[in-house]
């Protein structure tokens, strides 16, 4: 994948989408394509300053109930937001984290969702103003069955893609 070309096309595609839910769907689909992920391996969050939470906007099944308090100490998404940098964790299943959202079936296909084994979490925003988080993951019953580790190149690609997403989400 040529990241610059991918980002240019994604930016053009997102510009044509009027509603936020349409942009979320385009973003999630593009991330699945870019990183060869399944639909339940992408999460998008936005900051809800009034409620003081990070709110799921993708997958749609979590939009009504999926929130993480901004004061959360065990959340990779909150850490990503506060540190304002992308984080890769290829041993995520071995890391203490609240896993409640991992158990919710968000895709119609398949059985119960598998645990997240590997993850990249990247902030959405520009400069000091962060307004959301993107997370891509690899799921599987075990680490060996979840696919390859995320690489430095994939981390760099997601960072470039979030620059585009930050303008639209």
User: Using one digit for the tens of pLDDT, what is the confidence trace for 72-87?
Assistant: 888 999 999 999 999 9
Give the per-residue pLDDT at 100. Answer: 45
Q: Which distant-in-sequence residues (6+ apart) come within 8 Å of 18 by Cβ? A: none
Separation between Cα atoms, residue 149 and residue 29, nearest integer Å: 21
What are the structural domains, with CATH classification, of the chain?
A: 3-168 (3.30.450.40)
Coil, helix or strand at residue 147: coil
Strand order in the sheet with 53-58: 67-69, 53-58, 42-48, 129-139, 116-126, 87-89
At 49, give phi and psi (nearest 5°): -65, -35
pLDDT given at position 141: 86
Count of CB atoms within 10 A of residue 81's CB?
Answer: 24
DSSP, collapsed to helix, strand or coil, labels residue 19 as: coil
- The predicted model scores a pTM of 0.88
SS3 62: helix
Q: What is the pLDDT of residues 11-50, one digit of tens each?
A: 999 999 999 999 999 999 999 999 999 888 999 999 999 9
Query: How far lies 137's CA from each of 120, 126, 167, in Å?
Result: 6, 23, 22
Decide if 79 contacts 70 (C-beta within 8 A).
no
What would the mean pLDDT of 56-66 be, rounded to a whole number? 82
């Amino acid at each position: 994948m040529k990241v610059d070309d991918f980002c240019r096309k994604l930016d053009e595609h997102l510009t044509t989408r009027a509603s936020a839910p349409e942009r979320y769907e385009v973003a999630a689909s593009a991330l699945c394509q870019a990183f060869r992920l399944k639909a339940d391996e992408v999460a998008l969050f936005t900051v809800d300053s009034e409620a003081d939470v990070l709110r799921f906007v993708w997958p749609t099944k979590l939009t009504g109930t999926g929130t993480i308090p901004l004061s959360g100490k065990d959340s990779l998404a909150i850490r990503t937001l506060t540190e304002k940098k992308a984080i890769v964790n290829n041993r995520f299943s071995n890391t203490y984290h609240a896993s409640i959202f991992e158990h919710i079936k968000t895709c119609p296909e398949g059985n119960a969702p598998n645990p997240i084994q590997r993850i990249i979490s990247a902030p959405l925003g520009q400069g000091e103003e962060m307004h959301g988080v993107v997370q891509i993951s690899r799921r599987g019953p075990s680490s060996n069955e979840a696919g390859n580790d995320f690489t430095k190149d994939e981390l760099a690609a997601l960072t470039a893609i979030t620059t585009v997403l930050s303008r639209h989400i």
